[in-house]
Amino acid sequence: MLFAAHESFHIREGWLRKGILGIERNPYLFLEEHTGDELGVGRNMVSAIRYWLQATGLAGGVSENTNGKRTVHFQETPFAQLVMRHDPYFEPE
């Protein structure tokens, strides 16, 4: 695990749910240039959301090789699926 990859931001209300919903729609969300616009946060906060999703075990990076180029996309973990399905208090919209 990386230290200080959270850009000194603590977890904020709504970030984890917002991040999970974002990667459900687009697994390559954290590779795109305008991720902050889609999530409604600043660039450094995007890095923090990505970090906290991994640190909490709600999402993980999946490495793949496409045409000799390595990319990493994110997907929710089985734990995240359980939380989203069964926890009515998980930062509802």
Does 73 map to a domain?
A: yes
> What's the number of domains the chain is made of?
1
CA distances from 54 to 31, 63, 67 (A): 15, 14, 27
pLDDT of residue 76: 95
Does 5 map to a domain?
A: no
pLDDT of residue 91: 65
CA distances from 42 to 35, 38, 69, 78 (A): 9, 10, 28, 28
Does 25 map to a domain?
A: yes
pTM metric for this prediction: 0.82
Do you know the residue count of the chain? Answer: 93
pLDDT of residue 72: 85
Query: Which CATH number does the domain housing residue 82 bear?
Result: 1.10.10.10
Q: How confident is residue 43, by pLDDT bands cut at 50, 70 and 90?
A: confident
Does 79 map to a domain?
A: yes
Write out pLDDT tens, residues 66-83.
888 888 889 999 999 999
Does 62 map to a domain?
A: yes
pLDDT of residue 60: 93
Residue-range definition of the domain harbouring residue 20: 15-86
